[in-house]
Structure 1
Amino acid sequence: MEPLAPSFLPCFLVISLSLLLPYVRPTQPLARLIGAGLTAALLVRYLLWRALETLPSLTPDPLAIAGWVFFLLELLGSAAGLILLHVLSRSCDRSAEATAHPVEDFPGGAPLIDLLIPTYNEQSEILYRTIIGALSQDYPRFRVWVLDDGKRSWLADMCRELGAGYRIRGDNSHGKAGNMNAAFWWLMDQPEPPDAIGVLDADFVATPAFLRRAAALLHDPKVALVQTPQHFFNPDPIQLNLGAATLIPDEQRFFFDVILASKDAHGTAFSCGTSALVRASSLAGIGGFPTESVTEDLLMSIKLSGLGLRTVYLNEPLTAGLAPEGLQEYLTQRGRWCLGTMQIVRTPWGPWSRGPTPPLMRLHTLDTVLFWTMTPILRIICLVIPVLYWWTGLVVVQADLPGLVSNLGPYWLSCVIFLGWVSGGTNVPVLADAMSLLVARESLRASAIGLFGSRNQKFKVTAKGATRDRTVVQWDLVAVFMGLAGLTLGGIILRAVTGPIAGTPPDVEAMTLFWSLYNLVTLCVAALMCVEAPRYRKEERFATDEPVEITIGGQTYAGRMDNLSLVGCRVRFADLPLIELGAEITLYVPGVGTVPTQVRGLRARSCQLSFNPDSAQRAALVRKLFSGQYRKSVSTLNPLVFCAILWRRAFT
């Protein structure tokens, strides 16, 4: 056996180079390109080592077949990794471009925008916020249309009272895309058709700057679509279930903060369904919103690229929406995204089609396809292989420990360090692997249906606005994760008691032990994500620190408001005035006015107040909360903080 110590040299070289990263911004093009290139080179080096030194002879022997099958799956997974590194080798920030092209300077003035809000079964509180935000745009020429596939009379009344347009259609064919198409073609037949179409999901509230900032990028006639990021004002299931909503980034931050900005730099950014703006003439040129896939947003950008038009990305927090409240809703949403991607594969615009899709868009679409298919397959296989070794002696990777450390070690380190650097810490290995396990079953099922099932799959709406007053455990998922963990741990204990498998090199035993321990941690984290914490509040609270005044019996007192929601707030006082539980008082809130309130809770130096606003004050509260100043998104995660979160969640 070769000495182990020299094999660590490539790992030490990678770590040494990483010491420079605190002094280099991930937005620096050359540094980013070098980091991606080095990581890709180390991946290719690892694959060459695997191909030349670790594969058994290709014979009918089951062990040889297993080794080759695993290597071929590794190759497919590595192809996805290489494409991702290519994507991340560049990035783009269009904020300065948007500032440099105000809509008032456009030839003919600001384009007329029709802002569409497709809806089906959302609650009135959700839609009220969205409509108020849409109507509060700081933009000279726009109209708001609520497209109601639920055909609800109360929503028609709400739109009439607030001043929004309201439309229904004869049937609900093609789901969201069909709903928007019915409105789009009707609008294009009006005496004053729109120049652009904005899209807001029913739970997304736009800041006043949304249309102005997004429309500025339409100054380039080649730009057909402007996408902005999705931020969320409630914790997603992962944040909530790990008990760290203010410390862990939401599950989509890596995609919106890093990946989509990188795709934009390559000209392959795509629409994400909401918080977007599309040029009306371009949309008409592709026949309206696509209906061949339940992810009409991605297919829309692909079709536009076939006409030589571009989707660009403005990475500014201009809207905020509701993340799925429960794990089942979360999985339903991911399954729909996966299904839609697979449906695109079967269209003339897929990555292997003969259609007009540009080569780079094909490549980056293939990246999405591999993400939904190969990632879950590899994650499952990587869990099963150590179990098979411990219980049966099956060895899939014939490698010694020095070779593994020398070849896999530097690539793995470089990948973790590079992804952590470009993402600001939002990509953490164990967390990312646990999330992929969480959606593995749903994505594999959706992939099979999308690739081989009927093309006429219905659009599944993600339920929003739910509350839950108790802990819910998703036992079907927990049973699978804990079962695999039990088999892994049981196998380790078996070998500790009975001794190593005869004829198995110690290197293989050590390699599989490390592999198994990593799997155990990942499985435990995935299981923790399946224990759903209660959601008691109907409205989210936003942290703040603002001066307010309360009036009690004609006497005014100054205080500080430290949290605020649409239904109430908490006020702190240096010296709490004489006040009783249930008392009716008035509160002056900056930007809203004097609001009647009732005391709902009392503490030593603070009181909890519930609002009783009139219609104007209620609308003002929405505009205040969703102005952008109360953004709740977490954009970084320290690995040590993440370890502390897991420890606390598991043992306290």
Structure 2
Amino acid sequence: MDPLAEAFLPVLLVLSLAAFLPWISSINPWARWAGAWLTILLMGRYLFWRATQTLPEPALDPLALAAWAFFMVEVVGSFAGVLLLHVLSRTLDRSAEATAHPVESHPGGPPLIDLLIPTYNEQEEILYRTIVGAMSQDYPRFRVWVLDDGKRPWLSEMCERLGANYRIRGDNSHGKAGNMNATFWHLMSLPEPPDAIGVLDADFVATPLFLRRAAALFHDPKVALVQTPQHFFNPDPIQLNLGDAARVPDEQRFFFDVVLASKDAHGTAFSCGTSSIVRADCLARIGGFPTESVTEDILLSIKLTGIGHKTAYLNEPLTAGLAPEGLQEYLTQRGRWCLGTMQIVRTPWGPFSRGVGTPLLMRLHTMDTVLFWTMTPILRILCLLMPVLHWWTGLVVVRTDLHGLISHLGPYWICCVIFLGWVSRGTNVPILADGMSLLVARESLRASAVGLFGNKNQKFKVTAKGATRDRTVVQWSLAGWFLAIAALTVAGMVLRLVLGPIEGTPPAAEAMNLFWSVYNIIMLAVASLMCVEAPRYRREERFLAGEAAKLRLAGREVEAVLEDVSLLGCRLRLPAGGLPAADARVEVSIAEVGEVPALVRAVGPDHCQLVFEADAAQRAALVRKLFSGRYRHSVTTLRPFAFMGILFRKAFM
């Protein structure tokens, strides 16, 4: 057999096994375990080959040092990969468990839950829908508390009007965690202290079943905290900038739909702040919400494992919030998450600490998060620079022939891509995932350095929400670097095409760097497209409805279809002859809301746009209707060919 053809046999074996995946569920425990460990074995095979056959002899020569340094980064990055694959080898769905243990069946009946909404500088319309949603819980025993670090009189008046409790404190120390602690200790001193504390970020609206479904998991006395996923009712910057939010998953879907459910199966799930409930007595035992990190949520779960309890994850869409509207806001949020994770490393509860009782598996899975924020950006940047250095200087970091490259890197890389795509049900697409990680690489490295080596007392940075933008904005501070690296890569390829390879360069190295460079150019192009921020015109997101409605105008009633609706207005489809005139005053009958006065803003061939003139009761009813959960539309899968089409249209149309 031709040696080169023989090299493809391991690749063909992986592809043959993958051919069965369409008929195997991604939650099948045996297939999931086998896929994860096959990928780990192929990774080990690749690293052994790299260590024994592709590296120069150790020497103080700059080229040898560069090759060994890159390999060591690969090894650490591969360790992060092993941890992730171990996490993904299992998964757990607790929905049936929650159904089987309704809160009424718990000893003592439903626990009393105090639902906290910490706020600082959010706009009135954002807080209004959050408070209305919190007050509309289908749960027998709960109280809502709005914690205002902005000390705004208008918010106090809104809380009184809506029936929520309002609290301020003397200072704003320790940000969100300090805000919640001030109220938590007050609540524990009341004649009727809470059994559990719920947390909702100021921009997250709970469906009526949030408390009922999440609290059901407290039937297990070992469960101290229940976390539910974060879903969003507006497109995040990646979805919006790629131009197809209806088909591109939001950036958090892989984590919440796949990773956190897998961590739960290992007993290492952690709190993500909002949309969670924690037992009050357990929270008191660890001294309240942690203030040692700006990501108090992760540290909260780590501390709870140290006293023998665990976090349970209920993967049901029970809340919906605002995703960051702009790329800078997105980067600020990711930078805060990274900073908080690095701060945890420096605490007694970090993965390298001793004597605080944190289980080994929790330490390892925390290390997975640490390596995600540190090694992923380092490896991503090095993988961009190595081909550039090869074309311009002749640097070779992998000395091999095509046979070795195809036989060892090929099956590992293909198996990894296929396995991640299978378990994520399409939410992890290589080019898209790599482009996203490249976007946050600079912010991750900066935050990692500050968190690991800087002042421990870093301030909590609030992510701005509720912004609009009336024009396209290019984030040149990011896109400029991406385009510059792409230009250097292309120029280096052209240079070698004209002048030929640098003397002594193996042909296999040329082939490897050609493939590597093409992949990098595509990834850099995708990342650059993400930096072109599309306008956001709407103050309120519209929800697709497709339900019956009635339009009343000048004494006559017309049957209509409510195509979409927001808190500010709606779009109606009407039969011929039933269209009102522009600027006419009408009433639209909407199920669960009633007769809403409205102004006709625009009229089309078969539809009209209305602006609501709703009263207080109707506005609250609209919030309850829109955020009941029935209009949620989170994209949970993305096919590679569909993604290619999205990129083509974004780039050329």
Question: TM-score per shorter chain, which class?
Answer: over 0.9
The CA distance in 2 between the partners of 1:576 and 1:586, in whole Å, is 17
Is structure 2 residue 532 aligned with structure 1 residue 518? no
Aligned to 1:36: 36
AA aligned opposite 1:308: G
Q: Deviations over 1:295-319 (max 9, x none)?
A: 0000000000001100000000000
**Correspondence 1:63-78 to 2 at 5 A:** 63-78=63-78
AA aligned opposite 2:358: T
AA aligned opposite 1:238: I
Offset of 1:127 from its aligned partner? 0.1
Is the partner of 1:292 in helix, strand or coil?
Answer: coil
Is structure 2 residue 291 aligned with structure 1 residue 291? yes
Is structure 2 residue 228 aligned with structure 1 residue 228? yes
Cα 1:419–1:578 shift into 2, 3 Å = closer
**Correspondence 1:324-363 to 2 at 5 A:** 324-354=324-354, 355-363=356-364
Offset of 1:3 from its aligned partner? 3.1
The CA distance in 1 between the partners of 2:612 and 2:579, in whole Å, is 20
Aligned to 2:319: 319
The CA distance in 1 between the partners of 2:491 and 2:56, in whole Å, is 29
**Correspondence 1:528-543 to 2 at 5 A:** 528-543=529-544
Aligned to 1:461: 462
The CA distance in 2 between the partners of 1:626 and 1:385, in whole Å, is 49
AA aligned opposite 2:476: W
The CA distance in 1 between the partners of 2:578 and 2:177, in whole Å, is 56
Aligned to 1:555: 556
The CA distance in 1 between the partners of 2:117 and 2:311, in whole Å, is 21
Aligned to 1:368: 369
AA aligned opposite 2:393: T
Aligned to 2:401: 400
AA aligned opposite 1:162: L
Offset of 1:574 from its aligned partner? 2.8
Offset of 1:499 from its aligned partner? 1.2
Offset of 1:366 from its aligned partner? 0.2
The CA distance in 2 between the partners of 1:384 and 1:577, in whole Å, is 63
The CA distance in 1 between the partners of 2:391 and 2:53, in whole Å, is 24
Q: Deviations over 1:131-173 (max 9, x none)?
A: 0000000000000000000000000000000000000000000
Q: Deviations over 1:584-628 (max 9, x none)?
A: 001000010010011111111111111110000000000000000
Is the partner of 1:380 in helix, strand or coil?
Answer: helix
AA aligned opposite 2:460: F
Offset of 1:58 from its aligned partner? 0.8
Aligned to 1:97: 97
Aligned to 1:632: 633
Offset of 1:402 from its aligned partner? 1.3
Aligned to 2:603: 602
AA aligned opposite 2:128: Y
Is the partner of 1:439 in helix, strand or coil?
Answer: helix
| 1:89/1:262 contact within 8 Å kept | yes
AA aligned opposite 2:304: L
**Normalised TM-score (structure 1):** 0.99
The CA distance in 2 between the partners of 1:335 and 1:639, in whole Å, is 29
AA aligned opposite 1:453: G
The root-mean-square deviation of aligned C-alpha atoms, in Å, is 0.9
Q: Deviations over 1:451-507 (max 9, x none)?
A: 000000000000000000011111111110000000000000001111121121211
The CA distance in 2 between the partners of 1:108 and 1:515, in whole Å, is 62
Q: Deviations over 1:327-362 (max 9, x none)?
A: 000000000000000000000000000021100000
Q: Deviations over 1:180-232 (max 9, x none)?
A: 00000000000000000000000000000000000000011110000000000
Aligned to 1:157: 157
Aligned to 2:440: 439
AA aligned opposite 1:324: P
The CA distance in 1 between the partners of 2:577 and 2:59, in whole Å, is 82
AA aligned opposite 2:65: I
Q: Deviations over 1:396-446 (max 9, x none)?
A: 111111111110110111111011001110000001111111000000000
The CA distance in 1 between the partners of 2:11 and 2:576, in whole Å, is 59
Cα 1:91–1:401 shift into 2, 3 Å = same
| 1:425/1:637 contact within 8 Å kept | yes
Is structure 2 residue 209 aligned with structure 1 residue 209? yes
| 1:2/1:402 contact within 8 Å kept | no
The CA distance in 1 between the partners of 2:377 and 2:542, in whole Å, is 36
AA aligned opposite 2:615: D
Offset of 1:532 from its aligned partner? 0.4
Q: Deviations over 1:539-577 (max 9, x none)?
A: 000111100001111111101111110111111123241
**Correspondence 1:158-177 to 2 at 5 A:** 158-177=158-177
Aligned to 2:23: 23
The CA distance in 2 between the partners of 1:12 and 1:527, in whole Å, is 34
Aligned to 1:506: 507
Aligned to 1:111: 111
Is the partner of 1:254 in helix, strand or coil?
Answer: helix
Offset of 1:2 from its aligned partner? 7.9
The CA distance in 2 between the partners of 1:588 and 1:576, in whole Å, is 19
List runs of 5+ in structure 2 lacking aligned partners: none
| 1:92/1:261 contact within 8 Å kept | yes
The CA distance in 1 between the partners of 2:387 and 2:397, in whole Å, is 9
| 2:579/2:606 contact within 8 Å kept | no
The CA distance in 1 between the partners of 2:50 and 2:612, in whole Å, is 65
The CA distance in 1 between the partners of 2:449 and 2:567, in whole Å, is 43
Cα 1:581–1:42 shift into 2, 3 Å = same
AA aligned opposite 1:148: D
Aligned to 1:130: 130
Q: Deviations over 1:372-407 (max 9, x none)?
A: 000000000000000001011111111111111110
The CA distance in 1 between the partners of 2:405 and 2:312, in whole Å, is 42
Is the partner of 1:4 in helix, strand or coil?
Answer: helix
List runs of 5+ in structure 1 lacking aligned partners: none
The CA distance in 1 between the partners of 2:238 and 2:639, in whole Å, is 17
The CA distance in 2 between the partners of 1:198 and 1:216, in whole Å, is 13
The CA distance in 2 between the partners of 1:598 and 1:479, in whole Å, is 46
| 1:270/1:311 contact within 8 Å kept | yes
Offset of 1:583 from its aligned partner? 0.2
Is the partner of 1:485 in helix, strand or coil?
Answer: helix
The CA distance in 2 between the partners of 1:91 and 1:576, in whole Å, is 55
The CA distance in 2 between the partners of 1:487 and 1:424, in whole Å, is 36
| 2:547/2:561 contact within 8 Å kept | yes
AA aligned opposite 1:418: F
| 2:230/2:317 contact within 8 Å kept | yes
Offset of 1:285 from its aligned partner? 0.6
The CA distance in 1 between the partners of 2:156 and 2:402, in whole Å, is 68
**Normalised TM-score (structure 2):** 0.99
AA aligned opposite 2:545: T
Q: Deviations over 1:75-101 (max 9, x none)?
A: 000000000000000000000000001
Aligned to 1:448: 449
The CA distance in 2 between the partners of 1:82 and 1:107, in whole Å, is 42
Sequence identity, in percent?
Answer: 71
| 1:223/1:309 contact within 8 Å kept | yes
The CA distance in 2 between the partners of 1:247 and 1:108, in whole Å, is 46
Aligned to 2:141: 141
| 1:576/1:605 contact within 8 Å kept | no
AA aligned opposite 1:292: E
Is the partner of 2:3 in helix, strand or coil?
Answer: coil
Q: How many residues matched?
A: 652
| 1:228/1:314 contact within 8 Å kept | yes
The CA distance in 1 between the partners of 2:174 and 2:577, in whole Å, is 58
Offset of 1:578 from its aligned partner? 4.6
| 1:576/1:606 contact within 8 Å kept | no
